[in-house]
Amino acid sequence: MRLIECTLETLPELQQLSVKTFIDTYQHLNDPNDFNKYLEKAFSIDKLRSELSNPESFFYFLEDEDRNIGYIKINIGAAQTEAKALEYLEIERIYILKEAKGQGFGRYLMEKSMLIAKEFNKKKIWLGVFEKNPNAIDFYKHMGMQEAGTHTFTIGSDHQIDIVMEKKLE
């Protein structure tokens, strides 16, 4: 397995993987109208192109056996979804195809994220995780992250609560 940085040339594949993994993870927890509107906005080609073009955001595919099975989106500086000190790196998105879960790929993505954070001389990583996703919360705790507050994540007209989790890097 390996990470491959996403580029504008891989934008269609990034969009397809983003939509599929988000549907697999959250569709059953949301109102269909709100959810579909969110998908159209959050994962449009134009929105993803803008995010890919931001010099403080980075997308990486997780490739295994010549197939992209997941991806991460990392933000530093002003690209973070919340104002954080310069010592922070945000893992905004970390998604794996449903059929690939439970095989160590999430751990690999987290470990790579921590290495990338160190390359950027960051001292802490953080992310937001939906409060109704107990498996993910348990996984992040297992990876050494701790709860550090909450923030609102809006899908359509639904204002959901994300648990903000952080980890200080050694």
Query: Of 102, 13, 99, 129, which Cα lies nearest the Cα of 60?
Result: 13
Would you call 140 a catalytic residue per the annotation? yes
The residue from 38, 60, 88, 140 that is catalytic is: 140
* Torsional sign, CA 103, 117, 82, 149: positive
Q: HEC profile for 11-70? A: HHHHHHHHHHHHHHHHHHHCCHHHHHHHHHHHCCHHHHHHHHHCCCEEEEEEEECCEEEE
Residues noted as catalytic: 140
